[in-house]
């Protein structure tokens, strides 16, 4: 009797076909291209389900910080959303949050008098007030990975004045900058910062009269509006090459997008297609591939839009979020995933949301897949994707965070990789497995059942 068997691997793996004939075995194999199948779900849940999130911050180590409403709690995760520490802050509503690479948490309230900016180094056990009674609220907050802090405050006297405050050491030892221009008392619905930092270390801020730039840690500022049709800027972002993008209401025209490729010395208007009429971004940011992502609300086509050509053409990439997403806040994990805080919890972008198109068959982003099978006994397979070569560690921990096994600790090439885990010696229970590749860190749970 002739028998045949067929096994088809997932994209990017090897597919084996075997046809068995008495006395003869013929085996054929073929590579299934990684780009042959791409799901068009752009977002998947990453934790804090059914929680209304209002802010989002991620440091270069991959730690995540977010705040929730109406509870006014803060939530911190060191492992991509697999585990969370929740803590409270007293006296203010944490409408703005930031996180530096030391894990220090900053929280600010634009409506608070005197205590509008606070800091904790121990996940909320104790808080230090960084502002004083002359500072009315905190309208924007920008924190570098090193802990250099920029903040904008209004002041009681004279009425209506506002200033930039700057600290080199985590909010200690403030220096008030005599900037000579009004700082926008703008509080974006997405809590996006008025500050942006380029790869060279320059800092940019949205003022009441346009964009201003400082190359000396805010000691001096210069106005950079050459080519802008007006001064009412609402959003600002910078990509990894140092290109700047701003959007706002210019000469009564809502939604004009401008780009600068010379560090803000000159600006050119971008002709956009694919966006809803009269688009007014509440947030504008970039991802690992320098794609632009913008949040659009208050139109008949609310959602998240992406441009892969520096803002000229846009595509809706909202698929995967619930219809009640509210006002999403986006944040890009340096070297890794895009995250989105919504009224329904935290989401992480799939490889589709940051894709740059096919070509070489390699994955377009980092990804750690759920182990399969799960639950399992005694073995399971863990799959991960790398867009380029990295030093990789894949480690298993028990539920208490104790290291159980190191499955991978070596340099791996770009592509899709599979690792088999034998849990014969492990007790039943929940375990965590964590992938680290460069600055990308992601953790998932698995269940051993015996």
Burial 151-164 (b: 16+ CB within 10 A, else e): bbbbeeeeeeebbb
The span from the CA of 59 to the CA of 76, in Å, is 11
- pLDDT value at residue 355: 55
pLDDT of residue 17 exceeding 80: no
Q: Over pLDDT 90: what percentage of the chain? A: 45
The domain 43-349 having CATH identifier 3.20.20.80: the answer here is: no
Would you say 5 and 20 are in contact if contact means Cβ atoms under 8 Å apart?
Answer: yes
pLDDT at 349: 85
Residues carrying CATH 2.120.10.30, the chain: 43-349
- The confidence score (pLDDT) of residue 24 equals 34
Phi-psi region of 275 (alpha: psi -120 to 50; beta: other; left: phi over 0): beta
CA 22/CA 384 separation, integer angstroms: 39
Predicted model pTM? 0.72
**pLDDT at residue 316 is higher than 80:** yes
Average pLDDT taken over every residue of the chain: 81
Cα 309 from Cα 103, distance rounded (Å): 34
The C-alpha atoms of residue 77 and residue 63 are separated, in whole angstroms, by 6
Domain with CATH 2.60.40.1930 in the chain: 367-448
* pLDDT tens per residue across span 225-256: 899 887 788 889 999 889 999 988 766 666 68
State yes or no: cis peptide before 71, omega within 30 of 0: no
Of 21-25, 146-150, 368-372, 422-426, which range is least confident?
A: 21-25
Q: Using alpha carbons, select from 100, 102, 96 the residue that is nearest to residue 131.
A: 96
- Dihedral (Cα; 166, 284, 42, 145), 10-degree rounding: -20
pLDDT at 191: 54
Q: Domain 367-448 falls in which CATH fold?
A: Immunoglobulin-like (2.60.40)
**pLDDT at residue 361, as a whole number:** 53
Residue 371 and residue 418: Cα distance in Å, rounded?
10
**Tens digits of per-residue pLDDT, 366-395?**
788 899 999 999 999 999 988 778 889 999
2-to-18, 23, 24, 25, 376 alpha-carbon distances in Å: 12, 10, 10, 11, 34
Confidence grade of residue 9 (pLDDT, cut at 50, 70, 90): very low
CA 204 to each of CA 143, 186, 230, 260, 272: distance values in angstroms, whole numbers, following the listed order: 13, 15, 17, 13, 24
- Per residue in 89-132, pLDDT (tens digit) is 988 999 999 999 999 999 999 888 888 999 999 999 999 999 98
C-alpha 117/C-alpha 132 separation (Å) is 9
- Percentage of the chain lying above the pLDDT 70 cut: 80
Q: 25: which residues sit within 8 A by CB, 6+ positions away?
A: 18, 19
pLDDT over 50 (residue 10): no
Q: Which tokens go with 361?
A: 């068959």
Among 227, 232, 226, 177, which Cα is nearest to 203's? 177
Between CA 2 and CA 20 the distance in angstroms is 6
* pLDDT attached to residue 254: 62
Residues 302-329: what's their mean pLDDT? 88
260 alpha carbon, distance to own chain's centre = 23
Average pLDDT over residues 13-28: 35
Give the residue with greater pLDDT, 144 vs 17. Answer: 144
Q: Select the highest-mean-pLDDT range: 24-38, 293-307, 324-338, 347-361.
A: 293-307
């Amino acid at each position: 009797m002739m028998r045949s068997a067929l096994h088809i691997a997932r994209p990017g793996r090897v597919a084996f076909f075997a046809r068995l004939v008495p006395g003869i075995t013929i085996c054929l194999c073929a590579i299934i291209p990684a780009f042959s199948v791409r799901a068009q779900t752009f977002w998947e849940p990453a934790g804090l389900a059914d929680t209304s999130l209002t802010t989002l911050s991620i440091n270069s180590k991959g730690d995540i910080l977010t705040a929730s409403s109406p509870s006014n709690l803060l939530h911190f995760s060191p492992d991509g959303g697999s585990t969370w520490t929740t803590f409270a802050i007293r006296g203010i509503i944490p409408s703005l949050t930031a996180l530096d690479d030391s894990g220090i948490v900053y929280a600010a309230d634009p409506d608070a008098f005197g205590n509008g900016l606070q800091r904790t180094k121990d996940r909320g056990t104790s808080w230090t007030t960084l502002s004083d009674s002359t500072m009315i609220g905190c309208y924007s907050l920008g924190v570098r990975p090193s802990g250099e802090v920029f903040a904008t405050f209004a002041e009681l006297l004279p009425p209506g004045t506002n200033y930039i405050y700057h600290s080199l050491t985590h909010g200690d030892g403030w220096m008030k900058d005599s900037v000579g221009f009004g700082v926008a008392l703008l509080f974006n619905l997405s809590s996006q910062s008025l500050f942006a930092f380029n790869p060279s270390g320059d800092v940019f801020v949205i003022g009441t009269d346009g964009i201003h730039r400082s190359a000396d840690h805010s000691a001096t500022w210069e106005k950079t509006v050459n080519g802008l049709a007006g001064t009412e800027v609402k959003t600002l972002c910078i990509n990894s090459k140092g290109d700047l993008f701003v959007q706002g209401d210019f000469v009564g025209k809502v939604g004009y997008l401008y780009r600068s490729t010379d560090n803000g010395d000159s600006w050119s208007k971008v002709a956009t297609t694919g966006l809803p009429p009269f688009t007014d971004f509440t947030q504008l940011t970039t991802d690992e591939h320098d794609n632009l992502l913008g949040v659009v609300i208050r139109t008949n086509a609310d959602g998240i839009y992406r441009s892969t050509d520096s803002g000229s053409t846009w595509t809706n990439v909202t698929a995967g979020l619930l219809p009640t997403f509210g006002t999403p806040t986006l944040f890009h994990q340096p070297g890794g995933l895009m995250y989105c805080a919504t009224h329904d919890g935290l989401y992480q972008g799939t490889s589709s949301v940051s894709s740059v198109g096919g070509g070489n068959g390699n994955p377009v982003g980092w990804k750690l897949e759920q182990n399969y099978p799960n639950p399992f006994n005694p073995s399971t397979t863990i799959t991960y994707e790398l867009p380029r070569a990295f030093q990789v560690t894949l480690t298993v921990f028990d539920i208490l965070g104790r290291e159980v096994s190191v499955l991978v600790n070596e340099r791996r090439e770009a592509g899709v990789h599979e690792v088999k885990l034998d849990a014969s010696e492990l007790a039943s229970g929940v375990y965590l497995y964590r992938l680290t590749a460069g600055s990308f860190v992601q953790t998932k749970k698995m269940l051993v059942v015996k």
